Amino acid sequence: MLSKGALEDIIMEHLTRKPGARPAAPRKVPELKKKVFLSDREMRGLCKPGMKTVKVPANAIVSPLALDWLDYDGMEIVR
C-alpha cells in the first residue's frame, strides 16, 4: 500500500513531466556528500521505480523509516 507521501510524489512526477519526454535520470550521489542523515523523503527522491540498489555515502545515517521502506521494496543500500 502506498503512503500519502509516496502517492503525492508519483502524482507530481507525472504532472511535471512534459509529453514525450524521458523520465528524469536519478540524481548522482555526490550531491549527498555533505549529508549525514538521510530521511525517508530524501531516500524516496533518490529511488526510481525499478531500481534494486541505491548508493549512499559511507558515513550517511539512513533513517529507520527509510530502511523499512527500502526493505519492503526489496532494495539494497550500497555504501
Q: Could you tell me how far CA 9 lies from the centroid of its own chain? A: 10
pLDDT along the chain (79 residues), means of 10: 74 71 58 75 86 87 91 89
Please tell me whether residue 60 adopts helix, strand or coil conformation: coil
Residue 12: the pLDDT is 75
Report the chain's terminal Cα–Cα distance, integer Å: 28
Task: For residue 15, report the phi and psi dihedrals to the nearest 5 degrees.
Answer: -70, -35
Return d(Cα 18, Cα 55) in angstroms, integer: 28
Return d(Cα 4, Cα 9) in angstroms, integer: 9
